[in-house]
Amino acid sequence: MTYDYDLFVIGAGPGGVAAAKRSAQYGVTVAIAEQAQAGGGCVNRGCIPKKLMVYASAFARLQRDAIAYGWSKSEQQFDWQRFVTVRDREIQRLQQVQRQALQTAGVEFINERATFVDAHTLAIGDRKITAAKILIAVGGKSIKPAISGIEHALTSNEMFHLRALPKQIAILGGGYIGVEFASILHGFGCEVTLINHEHCLLSGFDADLAAAVHRAFDHRGIQTLCNTTIKTIEPVPEGLRVLLKGETATPLVVETVLCATGRAPQLDELGLENAGVEAKTAIAVDDYSRTSQPHIFAVGDCTNRLQLTPVAKAEGKAFADTVFGQQPQVVHYDYVPSVVCSDPEAASVGLSEATAHEKLGGAIACYQSEFQPLFYSLTDRPQQSLVKLVVEANTERVVGIHMVGDHAGEIVQSLGVSLQMGITKQALERAIGIHPSSAEEFFSLERSPSAT
C-alpha cells in the first residue's frame, strides 16, 4: 500500500521534533502536526519560561548581596509587564527556531490538530492523510484534584500569563513544580504559603536534599504546611478563602491559588481507540517505544516513563535510529539527572538513600557535608549548601549524587556521567578539584554517622 508519508509525528514538542529531524536524516518523508506552537510544553509553558522567571526573581536578593560587597544601594523596581514582554519575545524566537530546524531537515510542519481515523489514517482539519508509521508525542497536561472550588485555582500553564503578580498566593503541592513556583514568587515579593499533603517536600528526592530545601524555605520566610491539604476554595471580596484540613486547619485568604499537584499524559480526543492503541492513564509502549500497534510509536510525557525534556529527546532519537536507521537503541533511565529550580537549587542523579536501601538489598554508605559557600561569607544570608554521595558499601561504587546549592544542576549533571562509568568513592577521592568551589566538596566527603 502507498502512504502519503513514511512517518507522521503528532506533537512538535522536544520528543516529536527530535524524532522528526533524525528520521528525515535517513531519507524518509516526514510530516509533523502541532495544534499550538512549535516547541511543545518545554518552550511555551514549561522549562524555558519558568527558568527565565527563576532568573528574573533572583535579582532582588542579588541586589541585596551586592550591597554587602560594597556596591551602593539601588532603588530599581521590578516591572512585571516589561519582563513578560521580553520573555514572550524570546519564546516566540524559540518557536521560530524550532520551525526553521524542521524546515531545514526537510520535515513538513502542519500547524493543526491531528486525530486518528484508523491505524494508518489521520484527520487534519477537513482532510485525511495516511502514514506508514506514526509517532505520538503529544506531551502531558496539568491535573487538578477533586476539591470543592478547584475551578478557581490556576495551574502552571496560567502562571505564565498572569496580568499582574499576586500579593498573596497559596500553592497546593510540594513537588518540584510547587516548590519552584513558591521560590519564584517569593523572589518577586509575593507572600507564599506552600501546602503539601505529604510529610515533607519533594518526596521523590533524597530525604536530606528535601530537608535542606525545606530549611532554606523556613529561613526565607516561605510558609510551608505539610500533612495538610485544601478542603475548599471559595471567592470572597478580598480574593479567595482557602479552608484547610490536616495538621493545619487555620483558613487562608489569598489573592491566587496555584494547583501544582502533578501532570498526566495528554490523551484527550486523540482517537487512540480508532487506531487500536492501548492506553489507560498513559500510552503503553515497549523498550523501543512501540505501542500495541507495531507501526505506531509513542515518546515523551504521553508514555509517563520519565517526564523530562532531555528524556523525550533521547526517546525520539532512539526511535528514529531503531526504526529508520536499523540501529536498535534503548534509552536507559538509571542515571538521568533532575533539577529543582528553587532557591537554593537542588539536583540529583542516581539513587536516593532510601531507594538504594530498597534496591541494593544490602549495606550502603552515605557521605555528606553541609557548608556555607564562600560567596555568602560577606552577606547576611544564612545560605547553606549540601552535597551527598550514596555508595554501595561492598564495592564502593557511587550510586547516587545529590546537591542543594548554587549551580547544583550544572554540577550534578556533569558528575552524573561518572555514575554511568561505574565510578567509586576512592576514584572521587583521588580527583583534584578547583578551589574555592562548591563542586570540590564531592571529592573529600566523610562518611555520615547515620550511614548503614
Which residues have a catalytic role annotated?
435
Measured in whole angstroms, the distance separating CA 408 from the mean position of its chain's CA atoms is: 15
The alpha carbon torsion through 433, 435, 440, 443 (nearest 10 deg) reads 60
Amino acid present at 321: D
C-alpha cell at 7: 512517518
Distance, CA of 229 to CA of 245 (rounded, Å)? 6
**3-class secondary-structure state, position 14:** helix
> Radius of gyration (Cα) for the chain, nearest Å?
24
Distance, CA of 168 to CA of 239 (rounded, Å)? 9
C-alpha cell at 234: 471559595
Cα end-to-end distance, the chain, whole Å: 62
**Nearby residues of 117 by Cβ (< 8 Å), 6 or more positions away:** 123, 128, 271, 274
Evaluate whether 224 touches 211 at the Cβ level (below 8 Å): no
Among the listed residues 4, 2, 7, the one whose alpha carbon sits nearest the alpha carbon of residue 299? 7
Distance, CA of 141 to CA of 296 (rounded, Å)? 22
Distance, CA of 189 to CA of 183 (rounded, Å)? 10
CB atoms within 10 A of CB 129: 18
Among the listed residues 151, 322, 123, the one whose alpha carbon sits nearest the alpha carbon of residue 240? 151
DSSP symbol at 249 = -
